[in-house]
Amino acid sequence: MAAPLLSLVVPVYNEEALVGPLVARCVAALAGLTADFELICVDDGSRDDTLPRLLAARAAEPRLKVLALSRNFGHQAAFTAGLHAAQGQYVATMDGDLQDPPELLPRMWALLRHDAHDVAYGHRTDREEGWGRQVLIKVFHRLFRDFSKLQEADNVGNFAMLNRRALGALLGLHEKNRYLPGLRSFIGFRQVAVPYARQARPNGSTPKMGYGRLFALALDALFSFSDLPIKVCLYAGLFGMVVFLLAGVYALGSKALGLAPFGWTSLELSIYFMGSIQLLFLGITGEYVFRIYRESQNRPLYFVQQYYA
């Protein structure tokens, strides 16, 4: 079969309630652009009815392909699996929870056609989300923008469209700790932002990335794209030295003035203080070592159970 013109990659994990509307809206948006498309839904090891429902939808829409992974590998790995499978000349990526509107695809497509740009990415100007999530996401994006030294890295996510040239570069990055929005920004080429408001999840569906997973993703992003953790060590260490010097002046002064013996409260406090700084150092160094270890293991990012194509 000839390669399609346009691919859309969508990871889904336990989204049974959304499969119907998701496929319908994506197919409608894609069909408005070209009949020659493929919609690749990556089932990231769902435990509910997501996979059977996708396969049922595929019976009615053969351009829907279903890439079932062998277990849950996490949504960055699921995206990567879909990108490897995608054959299109243009390839778009979108979350499967309808927070990113497929209706934005025509705008991205228009920017990429005729080779005007290589990458069009969604830039969230607004988002409907619980306030706790909002605050944390804001803090993360601010840190990431300031420390990653990547241009155009502010408030971007997985919603984007790339041409073959840019996708080739992206797939050439083999690191295991993946943060796709960062990698996509890293490759360069002619990128253009498409502003949009991120919607709330449809009623009755819950985020599949809990706070723990969001935090882990934020760490992946900050560790692989910035020196923030090392900087934290450095500044904490410097701060500890200043405190240590002040305490030293105080201790020597008390001795000189004959005010010794010295109370052991201050001693105790400084031991705790130095101890905690050292632990922080160890923890952060350990984190780097662990990441180097994981890269050097060089395990595949995912395994495919079956590709219904």
* Residues found near ligand UDP in the complex (CB under 6 A): 11-13, 15, 44, 72, 74-75, 78, 95-97, 99, 207-209
15 counts as binding Mg ion under rule CB under 5 A: no
Minimum CB separation of residue 67 from ligand UDP in Å reads: 11
Q: Which residue has the tokens 């435990």?
A: 47
Check: CB of residue 13 under 8 Å from CB of residue 45: yes
Q: How far apart are CA 293 and CA 309, in angstroms?
A: 35
Minimum CB separation of residue 11 from ligand UDP in Å reads: 3
What SS3 class is residue 308?
strand
Minimum CB separation of residue 122 from ligand UDP in Å reads: 12
Minimum CB separation of residue 245 from ligand UDP in Å reads: 45
Q: Which is nearer to Mg ion, 23 or 277 (CB)?
A: 23
Minimum CB separation of residue 225 from ligand UDP in Å reads: 17
12 binds, among Mg ion, ligand UDP, none (CB under 5 to 8 A by kind): ligand UDP
What SS3 class is residue 63?
coil
Q: Which is nearer to ligand UDP, 76 or 148 (CB)?
A: 76
- Number of H helices and E strands in the chain, helices first, is 10, 8
Minimum CB separation of residue 13 from ligand UDP in Å reads: 3
Minimum CB separation of residue 99 from ligand UDP in Å reads: 5
Site string for Mg ion, 89-118 (x = CB under 5 A): --------x-x-------------------
Q: Which is nearer to ligand UDP, 215 or 288 (CB)?
A: 215
Q: Which is nearer to ligand UDP, 73 or 277 (CB)?
A: 73
Q: Which is nearer to ligand UDP, 71 or 149 (CB)?
A: 71
Note every long-range contact of 103-109, with CB atoms under 8 Å and residues 24 or more positions apart, other chains counting. 103/25, 103/29, 104/159, 104/194, 104/196, 105/8, 105/29, 105/30, 105/33, 105/161, 106/29, 106/32, 106/33, 107/194, 108/160, 108/161, 108/194, 109/6, 109/33, 109/161
11 binds, among ligand UDP, Mg ion, none (CB under 5 to 8 A by kind): ligand UDP
- Please, which residues bridge with residue 122 across strands? 194
Sheet holding 119-127, edge to edge: 191-198, 119-127, 156-163, 90-93, 6-12, 37-43, 64-69, 304-308
76 counts as binding Mg ion under rule CB under 5 A: no
Q: Which is nearer to Mg ion, 10 or 112 (CB)?
A: 10
Q: Considering only residues 158-197, where is the footprint of Mg ion by CB under 5 A?
A: none
Which residues in 13-143 belong to E strands, given as ranges?
Answer: 37-43, 64-69, 90-93, 119-127
Q: Which is nearer to ligand UDP, 90 or 179 (CB)?
A: 179
Single out the residue of 216, 220, 302 nearest to residue 11, CA to CA: 302
74 binds, among Mg ion, ligand UDP, none (CB under 5 to 8 A by kind): ligand UDP
Contacts of 165 (CB under 8 A, 6+ apart): 118, 189
Tell me which residues touch Mg ion (CB under 5 A). Answer: 97, 99
